[in-house]
Amino acid sequence: MSWSPGETVVRREVLNDGRCWLETDVTVVHDDTELLVTYLAGGTPLRYPLGFHPWHPKAAWEGHGVLMLHRPDDWYSVWAFWQGEAREFAGWYLNFQEPFRRGKQSYETQDLELDIWIPRDEPWQWKDRQLIEERVREGRFTAEQARTIRAEGDRVAADLDAGRWWWDPGWAGWRPR
């Protein structure tokens, strides 16, 4: 199953028990067996089916929007961010998450808290690494999940240090129609 460019689908963030705690409409930019690219436009409403989420009560996505690149079976997606009136490329954000799962008109994943920020023309940096153990204490992640998250993070960090990026840097120049 694949979607057509321009089609609207729902991106759903779920918890371990499968309950959705954040959903938003995104536009399909590209979809084939190797890559799903979606765009979350600025101003798009954020819906909180459970009434709570770290972003709650933020009503809508702010800024220029974000382009999200997903490969099947990857434990992270690559997000492109822009800034300023001229919509200059700001950097890449690696959002660690469970591999996405497709539904009929949606895809879902569980955000894993860990992130890497790669500012344009600067070295990469960890974000939220310290939160993994806190989420284990809260019961959001199991100890096994925390080990997997850290291992995936370390693997990706080693790739970045070695200059190995799988995504096309040309996506930085992408613009919505």
What are the tens digits of pLDDT across the range 134-155?
999 999 999 999 999 999 999 9
DSSP 162: T
Q: What percentage of the chain exceeds 90 in pLDDT?
A: 98
Q: What percentage of the chain exceeds 70 in pLDDT?
A: 100
Question: What is the CB-side half-sphere exposure of residue 18 using CA atoms within 13 A?
Answer: 1
Residue 86 lies in a domain: yes
pLDDT in tens, 61-84: 999 999 999 999 999 999 999 999
The number of folded domains in the chain is: 1
Question: Cα(18)–Cα(7) distance, rounded to whole angstroms?
Answer: 25
Residue 176 lies in a domain: no
Residue 125 lies in a domain: yes
pLDDT at 98 over 90: yes
Residue 80 lies in a domain: yes
| Encoded amino acid at 164, one letter | R
pLDDT at 177: 85
- Domain coverage including residue 35: 8-162
Residue 65 lies in a domain: yes
Which residues on adjacent β-strands are paired with residue 10? Answer: 25, 106
Residue 115 lies in a domain: yes
DSSP E strand boundaries for the chain: 8-14, 20-31, 36-40, 66-70, 76-83, 88-97, 101-102, 106-109, 111-119, 125-127
Query: Which residue is listed with tokens 């997997």?
Result: 148
- Classify residue 10 by burial, with Cβ atoms within 10 Å: 0-12, 13-18, 19+: middle
Name the pTM for this structure: 0.96
Give the pLDDT mean for 15-41: 97
Residue 3 lies in a domain: no
pLDDT at 55 over 90: yes
Residue 98 lies in a domain: yes
CATH number of residue 104's parent domain: 2.40.380.10
